[in-house]
Structure 1
Amino acid sequence: MLGTSQPVARLHLIGPLALTDADGAPCTPRGQKACALLALLALAPRRQRTRVWLRDKLWSDSSDRNASTSLRQTIFELRRDLGDLFDQILEVDRQTLGLRPGALWIDIHAVEENSALLAASGLSAETDLLEGIDIGDPEFEDWLLLERQGWHDARERLAERAARAPATAAAPAPPSASVAMPKAGRISLGLMPHILQGCDDQTAFVADHLMESIVRNLGELHPIAVYDFRDAGGPSDRLIGAGDTEYFLRVRTLQVHGSLTLTFFFHLAETMTLAWSQSIQADRSEVLTPDSQILAGFVTQNADRLSREIERRRPAPAQQGTSTLLTGYTALNMMFRLDRNALQNAETMLAGAKGSAGGVLMPALSAYATSFRVGENLGSLAKSGEDETRAIVADVLRDSPFNSVALACLGHAVGYVLRDHEQARGLLERALQLNPHQAFVWDHYALNRIYAGDYKTAIEAARRAVSIGAYSPLSYTYDTTLAMAATMAGQDGQAIAASRAALSKQPRFAAAMRYLLVNLSKTGREDEAREVFENLLLRDPEFTDPAVQKARFRISQADREDDLIAAVRRISG
């Protein structure tokens, strides 16, 4: 588990449970079960528990299946209430939930380290642990009774220690609570209440999961401000600035027996009209599968369409003043135009966006841009360029990024440009843990596994990227990665089909040409291969040089590299 250098939030367990961010603004979850989940983790050894243990404490009277569904729903509620803070303080995987080391200041642990804090905080000796929490589960109540008994014993020891200790200055009070005002230069979204028709206990949460996954994907490429109107009883201070909302999003879930129809609606706030909607129909069991590719594909389809819609509706720079709202989506699409001028313009824009609302994404994209100079012959990368890439990666990682796209960009730069495939793997696997619904991340994980020689994992990841990213403007790159993985796995037919799919969408993509050339050569289709080779030389005239060929393929296994070069040589002569 990766920690952070400074706490990003404060959790109070002595007295009523309360959570505040680093500025003191309240962000306590609305649901009792969500609050209890935080408490269970905060008081756990190593701040971590298994999903099974948590289910047994909060839903002991439910079946395993229903308890698992309830836990997932509570996690979704936490993500909804905490927003960006969720990924900064929590780590979630298939087996466990935990708090990130150092990310959360917890009062009971701070008091145990410094007994003077108890008096300085204004708490009386009679203040109990988790006052007012009421879950109604006997297993949780038994756990709470033991924890309170432990707190009573600790309180007596702390009082004795404080009495023996010399007087000390009062500890500084935490920052006073403040209302978070809307941030300038962000795209504002309003989340409307869902429409649920015929849903049961297990499918009622799907709308939340779909909405939050779409917003998460969008937020990793655009600077956004989100106003949540789904719960009319939520804190009103979270809606400050909501009058400037530009777009409203809504989800409808219709269940008829074992079938679910999910519809996503995109409304324009200015005219209060429906701009568009998209629907899918699927079997209930397919949607409820934890790794549902149907749901993941619908998430990415809507996030990509939202991105295109937002880009299309952005005011021209002259209307916005001297600056324009640069998004990661804009920068990525400029890079993937595969044009030297477009790449230079993207790099210039990214350099000017340092310190902008894009956070860690913009410098991560700057590092990512270096891979185009190496792989697409859109310039050269000198030693100073590698050093700059290393410096960017180090700077971004010091900020402990929680943006899966940023981590994928860094991972690709570290692996493809700097050839450190093990560090790249760690970054990409962390990105997948943060957001398994980003086709861009799956694609770059597949690339990393190709470079490292793990072709079985590579082809599985590439197929997932192609599946869930089918509607992305970058889908041709996902097809190309599948072609690469299939080539290495000896699946020539799959490689040829995927390469042709990529080139039908982006005829200038040299990487797709290289792998189509190799597989046509390997299967004896020399005339077709020669035509591809001639087209490739128009894009990359230096590709006749074997040293350049090795630099473009960048395969770490010498025997596989030799096979690729030999296939090219059969055509190039």
Structure 2
Amino acid sequence: MRCDSIEHLALHLAGPLRLCRADGSDVTPKSQKAQALLALLATATGFSRPRIWVQDKLWSDSPQARGASNLRQCIHRLRKEVPIKGEWLLSDSHRLALDPQFVSVHFGLEDSARPISSEAPEFCEGLDVKDPEFEDWIRDRRFDFEDKWEERCAQEAAEPLTAPAEIMQHRPTETLGHSVLLIAPPQSSDDELKGLESMICMDIAANVSHIGGVEIRYQSDGLVQTGLDDAVCLQVRTFRFGENVSLQSVLSDPKSGAVYWSDVRHLSSLGSRSFSEDYSSAVAHVTSATAVQFADGPMTGHSTRKAYRAICDLLTFDSTKFDACEQVLASFQDEPRSASLDAWRAYLRVTQVLERTASDRHATTEEAIALSRRALERDPRNPVVIAQAAHVALYLEKSSEKAWALAKSSVLCGPCSPIAYNHFSAAAAAIGESETSRIASGRALELSASQPNRSFWYILECFAKINSHDFEQARKYALLAHQMSPTFRPSLRYLIALSHVCGDEEGASAAITKLSALEPGFSIEQFNDSDYPTPTLRRAGLTHGLLGRQV
């Protein structure tokens, strides 16, 4: 049972939007903008969205300063209209969120009491905000809701969906329900810092859920937690030091209290221009540490660990590990939280095509596209899923404009996601936005500072430096990638060309020798083949001077 001192709200989105207390009393705000704000947050992963994104949806026609002022007033009125014990609506200079400790969201799709023949209720029926951005958003959500209602009716009518045999050939043998991230409640006595702690925890939880395979739970006084044999507890504390804020994060065993990992990071002052970047970097840092615990930590379970290790192995570009990665990720294909794992399976196929290890390039391409589409259908707001769809669009569908649109969406949905910024950088380069690509790549490198497989992230920064024609720095990052992983073939390919253009012929020859040992049949002439994985070198014109060199 939950502690009686905690008040709870239920937000219903099927039919007219309704906000109700636990006793059933209706506290729905009268303002259409306030209702729209609730709908925007309730449909987000982790109930959290960037503040500027919400402002753009509700006041897109207003000057930025006026829109920001209108949003602040809307938040103030909403809190005043729904006064409960607890900070149910969280806000800072960066994000807005509903606290799931106080608010539960109901879409009506889980209502098994409705007969399957009943007409689908409209999503947020009657909600009408005269803003073109919101009108587009609500129209798309209503179409999505109708589609999901039809899918539910089909399932209840016992009409099983047949999956494509090509990508569903592995029978599921694992489940993802054993690993739990338990979020401890905020501890600060300072209301502003307490709200910040809640928001940080929710953003970390959302980022972990985007990776896939972990159940998120929120710890609450008086609530008995079970099934914690394979769990990690996350607790964050914030402290003021002058105008700045320090963030302490602890990962521990929820049963014994044993500490797995602890860290302190210093953030700029709340509301400052640099706070947003500090915040995103801190969330990415703790997310990485949490993922490492599920991949390599001392928990007793194995299924989530297998999935996380498979993703890490994909980023090594080691083709000898690809079959094992596919087998592990495919074994979770029927799990409800497996959309991101489908997206990583699509990423694997892109790598197989680019690295020339696919036995049938056409079939592998078709599988990648099918997996990417299915992942988007399952979790259309997951930044990892959207980013991998952009990757597929760019390299297999050969559509730079589609990749650019998806990549922009992935960064908007995942401002703390390094993989989103990486694919955004690649898409920007493909449409000629070299400066945007450079900035995004640098941001990806910052956000990935705590990620394993540093060679992968260094080579991505190498690509960005080539796009900005900074060949000396590009060579530096290619060399770092090679030093971190001597058998990482992409770094050797780029070292050959970059060493040559920088006048280091001895370095170019050494890289040729090493790559030839790892890639039988390699020749310099392949650098100009359209399907050889050096498109960044070709676009920069760095391959022409290499022709005729001896291997």
**TM-score normalised according to structure 1 size:** 0.69
Alignment-derived partner of residue 98 in structure 2: 77
1:208 pairs, out of 166, 191, 198, with 198
1:492/1:374 Cα in 2 relative to 1: closer, same or farther (>3 Å)? same
| Contact 1:328-1:361 within 8 A present in 2 as well | no
Q: Which residue of 1 aligns with 2:287?
A: 303
The question of whether the paired residues in 1 share the 8 Å contact of 2:295 and 2:304 is answered with no
- Measure, in 1, the Cα distance between the counterparts of 2:417 and 2:343: 16
CA distance in 2, matches of 1:71, 1:32: 23
SS in structure 2 opposite 1:185?
Answer: coil
**TM-score scaled by length of structure 2:** 0.71
Contact 1:34 1:77 in 2 (8 A): no
1:10 alignment partner, one of 2, 8, 13: 13
1:178 alignment counterpart: none
CA distance 1:207–1:571, change in 2 (3 Å): farther
Q: Cα deviation per residue 1:142-198 (whole Å; 9 max; x = unaligned)?
A: xxxxxxxxxxxxxxxxxxxxxxxxxxxxxx9xx9xxxxxxx972422222122326x
- Map Cα deviations across residues 3-33 of structure 1 (whole Å, 9 max, x no partner): xxxxx9635658x6249xxxxxx99999988
2:176/2:214 contact within 8 Å kept: no
Q: Give the CA deviation at 1:469.
A: 0.7
Matching residue of 2:234: 249
Segments ≥4 residues shifted beyond 6 Å: 26-37, 82-86, 95-98, 242-245
Contact 2:383/2:420, CA 8 A, preserved across alignment: yes
Q: 1:11 to 1:395 in 2, by over 3 A?
A: closer
- 2:547 corresponds in structure 1 to 569
SS at structure 1 position matched to 2:139: coil
* Superimposed CA distance per residue, residues 410-434 of structure 1 (whole angstroms, 9 cap, x where no aligned partner): 2212212332222222222211111
* Pairwise CA distance, 1:71: 6.6
- Partners of 2:347 and 2:31 lie apart in 1 by 39
Q: Which runs of 5+ in 2 are unaligned?
A: 1-10, 41-55, 60-66, 80-88, 110-122, 125-131, 144-152, 157-174
Partner of 1:140: none
Deviations 1:287-317 (A, max 9, x none): 754773322222222211111112224667x
Q: How far apart, CA to CA, are the structure 2 residues paired with 1:78 and 1:470?
A: 28
- Give yes or no for the alignment of 1:276 onto 2:261: yes
- Does the aligned pair in 2 maintain the 1:521–1:570 contact within 8 Å? no
- Cα distance in 2 for partners of 1:502, 1:543 equals 20
Partner of 2:246: 261
1:312: which partner in 2? 296
SS in structure 1 of the partner of residue 97 of structure 2: helix
For 1:480-499, list aligned pairs within 5 A.
Answer: 480-499=459-478
Q: Which residue of 2 aligns with 1:392?
A: 371
Task: Work out whether residues 446 and 457 of structure 1, in 8 Å CA contact, stay in contact via their aligned partners in 2.
Answer: yes
Distance 1:334 1:433 in 2: 27
Return the offset for 1:406: 1.8
TM-superposed deviation, 1:491: 0.4
Q: Aligned equivalents of 2:387 and 2:24: distance in 1?
A: 31
1:556 and 1:486 mapped to 2: Cα distance? Answer: 10
In the alignment, which residue of structure 2 is the partner of 1:470?
A: 449
For 1:194, the equivalent position in structure 2 comes to 186
- SS across alignment from 1:76: strand
Q: In the TM superposition, what is the alpha-carbon distance from 1:409 to its structure 2 partner? A: 1.9
Conserved 8 A contact 1:250-1:264: yes
Deviation at 1:387, TM superposition (A): 2.1
After superposition, residues 398-413 of structure 1 pair within 5 angstroms as 398-399=377-378, 401-413=380-392
Q: 1:338 offset after TM fit, Å?
A: 3.1
Q: Which residue of 1 aligns with 2:208?
A: 218
Q: Secondary structure at the match of 1:418?
A: coil
Q: Tell me the amino acid that sits aligned with residue 299 of structure 1.
A: V
Give the conservation status (yes or no) of the 8 Å contact 2:210–2:383: yes
Tell me if structure 1 keeps the 8 A contact 2:176–2:335.
Answer: no
CA gap of 1:188–1:27, structure 2 versus 1, over 3 A, is: farther
CA distance 1:97–1:246, change in 2 (3 Å): farther
Return the match for 1:57 from 66, 71, 74.
74
Distance 1:9 1:332, change over 3 A: farther
Task: Tell me how far apart the structure 2 counterparts of residues 501 and 27 of structure 1 sit (CA, whole Å).
Answer: 60
1:451 and 1:554 in contact (8 A); partners too: no
Pick closer, same or farther for the CA change 1:494–1:82 going to 2, 3 Å: farther
Note if contact 1:449-1:455 (Cα within 8 Å) is conserved in structure 2.
yes
Give the gaps of 5 or more residues in structure 1.
1-7, 20-25, 63-67, 106-171, 176-182
Q: Distance in 2 between matches of 1:376 and 1:255?
A: 50
Query: Secondary structure at the residue paired with 1:196?
Result: coil
Determine if contact 2:180/2:214 at 8 Å carries over to the other structure: yes
Deviation (angstroms), 1:252: 0.8
1:39 corresponds to which residue?
35
Please identify the structure whose Cα radius of gyration is greater.
1
**Among candidates 362, 378, 398, match of residue 419 of structure 1:** 398
Using the alignment, how far apart are the partners of 2:546 and 2:489 within structure 1? 14
**CA apart distance, 1:358:** 3.5
Cα distance in 2 between the residues matched to 1:302 and 1:408? 21
Structure showing the higher helix proportion among its residues: 1
Equivalent residue number for residue 166 of structure 1: none
For residues 195-215 of structure 1, give each alpha carbon's deviation from its aligned partner in whole angstroms, at most 9, with x where no partner exists: 326x574x4432122212211
> Displacement of 1:255 after TM fit?
0.3
Query: For 1:508, what is the secondary structure of its paired residue?
Result: coil
Distance (Å, rounded) in 1 between the aligned partners of 2:13 and 2:333: 29
Residues 436-475 of structure 1 correspond to what in structure 2 (within 5 A)?
436-475=415-454
Instruction: Say which SS state the counterpart of residue 335 (structure 2) adopts.
Output: coil
The equivalent residue for 2:532 is 552
2:249–2:262 CA contact under 8 A, matched in 1: yes
Identity of aligned residues (%): 16
Taking the aligned partners of 1:43 and 1:354, their CA distance within structure 2 comes to 30
Question: How big is the shift at 1:522?
Answer: 0.9
Match of 2:63 in 1: none
RMSD between aligned residues? 4.3
Q: Which amino acid aligns with 2:380?
A: P
Match of 2:116 in 1: none
Q: Secondary structure at the match of 2:386?
A: helix
